[in-house]
Amino acid sequence: MVTTRTIQYRDALNEAMCEEMQRDQRVFLMGEEVAYYNGAYKVSQGMLERFGPGRIIDTPISETGFSGLGIGAAMYGLRPIIEFMSWSFCLVAADQIINNAPKMLYMSGGQFGCPIVFRGNNGAGGQLGSTHSWSVEAMFSSVPGLKMAIPSTPRDAKGLLKTAIRDDDPVFFLESERMLGMGARGDKDFSHYLANRWAPPEGDEEFLLPFGQAHVVKPGKDCTVVAIGRTLHFALEAAEELAKEGIDCEVIDPRTIRPLDIDTITQSVRKTNYCVVVDQTWPFSSIASEIGSQVHERCFDDLDNHVYRVNNDDVPAPYNRALEQEMLPHARKIAEAVRAATYNA
């Protein structure tokens, strides 16, 4: 019988990989410290003992090398999962992951696919400095040929990762270090919105979530708030505060950026007539900019104000804890944007 249970975000990722490795002998995990150390963040805890060193593979500190090795393995029929300890470290492998993997099927005339998953921590992890706090979704999502998922709950982490591993295209799977320890109940202020969709079902090894299908987390009528990944939790916190002022937000989690479920977003905007988009990239050429542009194109006559964006401040990530938290999107910034968008500032 399928039941719900308590499970941390990191354990949901582990469970997804273990189930897919058990199901398909072609799947293997490769990255720095994924084997004998059980993963830098313990996402691969116990996998070496279960699957052995032939499928759980420690690598040198060389993203360029093991990314390229994974792409070659995918071209010859395997299904690699390549873990970046941080997506900040992927930049040295840009030629492999964005110039080779997404273009392989096209440039080989259909002879070589590239079913590979690149996954790891994305965004500011907590006082890691500006070079270790990159949010890469805006840089990489413009590349045709790849797919991109950004899960915000343990349930989505498991269901989307299993779908990614089975996908025949390269998938960029962006997690968050700050969410790895999240349990199955959510934060107290808004757990009721996610209570039935927070933990993956137990005992269902075919639990898959389709790409390109957004989740309306909180229905509402006054303003559409689109929030991606970790920012979903700040958006729900802001929605709780705004509800006290009589502003009823509809909060949407896209879950995947490539493909993007713009239809669910625009359907909501046509109902509310206002829109705020939140993501953890810098504002110039951000994901919020792209979604805002598409909303303007499709909902011009329905909008009663322009689309508002909430992003990281346009500065390198500070090391100081207080400055770092202020630089990132948070509930106060989102609430202020909603008030401005709905003429309640």
Q: What is the arithmetic mean of pLDDT over 178-193?
A: 66
DSSP states of 204-255 as a string? -TT----TT--EEEE--SSEEEEE-TTHHHHHHHHHHHHHTTT--EEEEE--
| Between 246 and 195, residue with greater pLDDT | 246
Query: Closest by alpha carbon to 83, among 123, 52, 42, 113?
Result: 42
Would the pLDDT of 43 be above 80?
A: yes
Would the pLDDT of 194 be above 80?
A: no
Question: Domain for residue 250, yes or no?
Answer: yes
Question: Domain for residue 230, yes or no?
Answer: yes
The least confident of 46-50, 195-199, 230-234, 290-294 is: 195-199
Whether 13 and 82 share a structural domain: yes
CA distance 38 to 144: 34
Residue 53 pLDDT class (50, 70, 90 cuts): very high
Residue 111 pLDDT class (50, 70, 90 cuts): very high
Contact, 94 vs 139, CB < 8 A?
A: no
Radius of gyration of the chain (CA): 20
Question: Domain for residue 226, yes or no?
Answer: yes
Q: Which of 179, 200, 235 is the last residue of a domain?
A: 179
Question: Which one of the listed residues 32, 63, 237, 324 is annotated catalytic?
Answer: 63
Question: Domain for residue 202, yes or no?
Answer: no
Would the pLDDT of 83 be above 70?
A: yes
Q: What CATH number is associated with residue 53?
A: 3.40.50.970
Whether 241 and 332 share a structural domain: yes
Whether 310 and 264 share a structural domain: yes
Whether 142 and 25 share a structural domain: yes
Would the pLDDT of 189 be above 60?
A: no
Q: Is the peptide bond before 318 cis (omega within 30 degrees of 0)?
A: no
Based on the structure, what is the number of domains in the chain? Answer: 2
Q: Is 296 a catalytic site residue?
A: no
Whether 157 and 286 share a structural domain: no
The least confident of 33-37, 98-102, 120-124, 221-225 is: 120-124
Query: Closest by alpha carbon to 92, among 117, 66, 123, 58?
Result: 66
Would the pLDDT of 190 be above 60?
A: no
Question: Domain for residue 242, yes or no?
Answer: yes
Residue 185 pLDDT class (50, 70, 90 cuts): low
What confidence score (pLDDT) does residue 118 get? 98
CA distance 220 to 307: 17
Whether 241 and 126 share a structural domain: no
Q: What is the arithmetic mean of pLDDT over 274-294?
A: 97
Q: Which two tokens mark 305?
A: 């104000």
Helix (H) or strand (E) holding 135: none
Residue 101 pLDDT class (50, 70, 90 cuts): very high
Would the pLDDT of 1 be above 80?
A: no
- CA of residue 248 relative to chain centroid, distance: 26
User: In which domain, by residue range, is 158 found?
Assistant: 9-179
Q: Is 63 a catalytic site residue?
A: yes
Residue 184 pLDDT class (50, 70, 90 cuts): low
DSSP-assigned beta bridge partners for residue 29: 56, 81
Whether 85 and 220 share a structural domain: no
Name the range with the highest mean pLDDT among 117-131, 195-209, 254-268, 318-332. Answer: 254-268
Whether 100 and 241 share a structural domain: no
What confidence score (pLDDT) does residue 187 get? 47
Q: What CATH number is associated with residue 311?
A: 3.40.50.920
Whether 148 and 269 share a structural domain: no
Question: Domain for residue 186, yes or no?
Answer: no
Q: Which of 156, 179, 202 is the last residue of a domain?
A: 179
What confidence score (pLDDT) does residue 188 get? 46
Whether 38 and 133 share a structural domain: yes
Whether 251 and 331 share a structural domain: yes
Question: Which one of the listed residues 132, 240, 296, 336 is annotated catalytic?
Answer: 132
Whether 220 and 106 share a structural domain: no
What confidence score (pLDDT) does residue 6 get? 81
Q: What is the arithmetic mean of pLDDT over 274-295?
A: 97
Query: Closest by alpha carbon to 105, among 71, 64, 151, 136?
Result: 71
Would the pLDDT of 191 be above 70?
A: no
Question: Domain for residue 150, yes or no?
Answer: yes
Q: Which of 179, 204, 234 is the last residue of a domain?
A: 179
Mean pLDDT for all residues in the chain: 93
